Amino acid sequence: MRAGIDLGTTFSLISNLESDGTPVLMPDSMFNDIYSTPSTVNISNKCASVGYLVDTLIEQNPELPVIRFFKRNFGVNQPIFIDSASNSWYPDSVAALVLKKLKNDAESYTGSKLESAVITVPAHFNDLQRKSVLNAAAMADIPVLGLVEEPVAAALHYGIAHHSRDQVLVVYDLGGGTFDATVLSMDANGVYVLAKDGLTEMGGKEFDEAISAMILDQFKKATGFHLPINGLTSLQLRRISEEIKIELSLPSKAFLKKAILIGNNAFEIMIYRKEFEQAIRQMIEQTVEVTLRCIDGAGLRESDIDALMLVGGSAMIPYIKDRLSKVITNADNKIFLHEPMKAVAMGAAIHSAQLSGDAERYDIPLEFRGVTGYNIGIQTLNPQTRKPETDCLIKKNMPLPSKAVRTYYTSTATQTRMVLQLVQYVDLQSEIINIGELVIGPLPNPRINYPVEVTVENTGDGTVKVAAYDPNTGVELQQVFGEDKLMSGNNLLAQRNLVRKTVIANLN
């Protein structure tokens, strides 16, 4: 069995293709009518609870330690949790527990072994974040066919489901924790990404928190004191806020009056849709700006767009379509929702068929081409100004895979190593992301102006690979890349063993 996995900030899903090529979600092994798993983990005594079971445990023990939103820590080589046995857990290893559960769910449902999977990532994930996902899959013993970006996976599913051809499509993907905008071209042969952009910390989490703030404010006004917050009340507040967000997303709902119970406190709240929209207005404006910037980055105008697809649970908020309709001409015929909660996982299953060579068997378009999400360069220190300068090797929105070669030279006769700093960035005015040092050496026969040819590749997965050569001999030089930014081999092995020894509750 091959699968597609949507590893989400708030919920994760797994899908595979039926014998006729139709993608289907696979249910939770404990709850056969539920097809999603909250990306929530509790670790206790060599046992991990994942998903809905964690919420049940919190109701029994409000002080239970819970790990949420670990996806936002991908690419950060720091522990995010220390368990009772003093084991350090990294974002990668916590994610591995969620992947391990999804793998068990799939194997329980199909009765066959998970041979490989395509895993989705936000379009704007950098090299470090993508490699964290690959680390997590390795720890969960899931062979990865490839990574595919969430909006691209959704577009793949849309294209297959609706037999769409010859379209320029914009995907507006607003999930639980991230936002992506992607411009794609679709024809009978495949899907081609033209440009992509996004926001790392923007999604349903922030919208739920806006509603939670309104609830807490109304509680304070009604009672004169602040609502006590612990594990249970935090869970209840989050659940109620999400329910209110969903209800206010119904076309007929202008306001919501509701009696709620949080902890031992029962009270009535009144929230108007306009009030909610005002609270999230600035965040939505950011997504609109990014979407328009992405269209411009593809070298297109708004009038060149044939369709704009809304994906992700938060994209169902009516205000989003209303706002986009003010910048997209003929919006009624162009803007639409497409399986906002399911399309990403099912598109990943379709991409698994493309990568495994089964596309023709399922009558799936063969071709797929992504683009680079960042400029990739080498940062050096200008000896005259003593200020950092960036030598751009691969430009943003170039077709993947992309490769560039540069030759650098030693500065002294005794220099035995060359150290280069690799960076990713959207533009030189935005944040420069340090993705690691490239240490080359020891150099044979060191001398001044010794040439070192550096090859940098942005692969089809969006990850960065490097190699260094002596251009005179063609011999590859010893080199180490990114060890200061990613887990070292020993630590990675230790985390993998830790995940393997940790039992997933009710599954193992």
What is the CATH number for 52?
3.30.420.40
Output the CA torsion sign for 199, 205, 207, 212.
negative
- Could you report the per-residue pLDDT of 142-161, keeping only the tens digit for each? 999 999 999 999 999 998 88
- Of 276, 306, 330, the one marking the end of a domain is 276
Q: pLDDT value at position 507?
A: 46
473 and 382 in a single domain? The answer is yes
- Do residues 310 and 340 touch, judged by C-beta distance below 8 A? yes
Q: Is 263 left (phi over 0), alpha (psi -120 to 50) or beta?
A: left
Distance from C-alpha of 290 to C-alpha of 335, rounded to nearest angstrom: 17
Neighbours of 57 (CB within 10 A): 17
Tokens standing for 414? 């005794």
210 and 99 in a single domain? The answer is no
420 and 347 in a single domain? The answer is no
> Which residues neighbour 129 within 8 Å (Cβ) at sequence distance 6 or greater?
74, 75, 121, 122
Q: pLDDT value at position 506?
A: 65
For residue 435, being part of any structural domain is answered with yes
For residue 178, being part of any structural domain is answered with no
Distance from C-alpha of 148 to C-alpha of 70, rounded to nearest angstrom: 19
Residue 85 burial class via C-beta count within 10 angstroms: exposed 0-12, middle 13-18, buried 19 and up: exposed
The DSSP H or E segment spanning 81 is: strand 81-82
383 and 462 in a single domain? The answer is yes
26 and 158 in a single domain? The answer is yes
- Do residues 389 and 381 touch, judged by C-beta distance below 8 A? yes
245: domain CATH number is: 3.90.640.10
- Of 276, 310, 329, the one marking the end of a domain is 276
28 and 147 in a single domain? The answer is yes
Bridging pattern class, strands 402-409 and 451-458: antiparallel
For residue 172, being part of any structural domain is answered with no
Taking alpha carbons only, the member of 311, 353, 242, 288 closest to residue 19 is 353
User: What are residue 272's DSSP bridge partners?
Assistant: 255
Q: What is the mean pLDDT of residues 291-296?
A: 95
For residue 311, being part of any structural domain is answered with no
> Would you place residue 508 in the very low, low, confident or very high pLDDT band (cuts 50, 70, 90)?
very low
> Which residues neighbour 232 within 8 Å (Cβ) at sequence distance 6 or greater?
58, 59, 62, 263
Question: In angstroms, what CA-CA distances link 250 with 210, 272, 328, 334, 405?
Answer: 18, 12, 23, 21, 53
3-state secondary structure of 274: helix
CA 114 to chain CA mean position, Å: 22
Question: Given the structure tokens 């992506």, which residue do they identify?
Answer: 180
Q: pLDDT value at position 227?
A: 87
Which amino acid, one-letter code, is at 298? Answer: A
27 — phi, psi (to 5°)? Answer: -80, 165
386: domain CATH number is: 2.60.34.10
In the chain, what percentage of residues exceed pLDDT 70? Answer: 99
- Of 231, 260, 276, the one marking the end of a domain is 276
Distance from C-alpha of 140 to C-alpha of 134, rounded to nearest angstrom: 10
- Do residues 103 and 114 touch, judged by C-beta distance below 8 A? yes
For residue 75, being part of any structural domain is answered with yes
24 and 151 in a single domain? The answer is yes
pTM, full prediction: 0.93
209 and 66 in a single domain? The answer is no
For residue 25, being part of any structural domain is answered with yes
Taking alpha carbons only, the member of 166, 180, 420 closest to residue 304 is 166
Residue 307: pLDDT above 80?
yes
Neighbours of 419 (CB within 10 A): 10
Q: What is the mean pLDDT of residues 344-348?
A: 97
Taking alpha carbons only, the member of 179, 163, 181, 162 closest to residue 171 is 181
12 and 133 in a single domain? The answer is yes
Q: What is the mean pLDDT of residues 438-453?
A: 93
187 — phi, psi (to 5°)? Answer: -140, -170
- Do residues 443 and 398 touch, judged by C-beta distance below 8 A? no
Taking alpha carbons only, the member of 325, 286, 332 closest to residue 302 is 325
The whole domain housing 382 covers: 375-477
48 — phi, psi (to 5°)? Answer: -120, 135
Tell me if the bond preceding 122 is cis, omega within 30° of 0. Answer: no
For residue 26, being part of any structural domain is answered with yes
- Could you report the per-residue pLDDT of 395-435, keeping only the tens digit for each? 999 999 999 999 999 989 999 999 999 999 998 788 899 99
Neighbours of 492 (CB within 10 A): 17
348 and 249 in a single domain? The answer is no
Distance from C-alpha of 107 to C-alpha of 102, rounded to nearest angstrom: 9
Distance from C-alpha of 465 to C-alpha of 394, rounded to nearest angstrom: 12
The DSSP H or E segment spanning 333 is: helix 331-334
Considering its fold, how many domains does the chain have in total? 3
Taking alpha carbons only, the member of 273, 344, 348 closest to residue 309 is 344
457 and 499 in a single domain? The answer is no
Q: What is the mean pLDDT of residues 365-394?
A: 88
- What does the mean pLDDT of the chain come to? 92
Q: What is the mean pLDDT of residues 51-76?
A: 90
For residue 285, being part of any structural domain is answered with no
251 and 229 in a single domain? The answer is yes
User: What are residue 266's DSSP bridge partners?
Assistant: 261
- Could you report the per-residue pLDDT of 223-247, keeping only the tens digit for each? 888 888 888 888 899 999 999 999 9
